[in-house]
Structure 1
């Protein structure tokens, strides 16, 4: 599993990202996904937690190094004037291998 965390700066009265903030986060999200998809087929989970927008990439372990290489220097390739990139991390997730076939079946049908 790989994780990319982006900082959320502007929030509205409901403590959700402002409209401007959503546009910025979604633009970065699309650029990140586009780059990673070129390297491997992935499953994505997105979580908005407080001031952090998190993107999790799941794939079989054999593809994780390829995805990691793409993610590692992404901050340098993507325009990030506000310095939103706060975390890039990769960890082995043994539970993903146990459930990945279920997700593959769901997404194929």
Structure 2
């Protein structure tokens, strides 16, 4: 399975892709830091700040309703140019069907 990277701000479009190697779920975000400290796209300080901000959102002492998710990627590839989508894509993203993916690749 692939994930396609899309920017919804600045120059909107598809920027690259990667293969999803594995998906892991964690109840405690500090376990993520313990396991993947040197392989996160955030620094340790940024990650701790993200946790702190999440605690403010959910409330200190309250359990987050959904688990923390780690997506392990491989074969990460940045496109040589940004590919504009045919239609608007919401910030939450969308599924890209095979024919649309082929159209993205043709525009590279």
> Which TM-score applies when normalising by structure 2?
0.24
Determine which structure has more spread, i.e. the larger CA radius of gyration: 2
Higher helix share: 1
Q: Which has the higher strand share?
A: 2
How high is the TM-score relative to the length of structure 1?
0.24
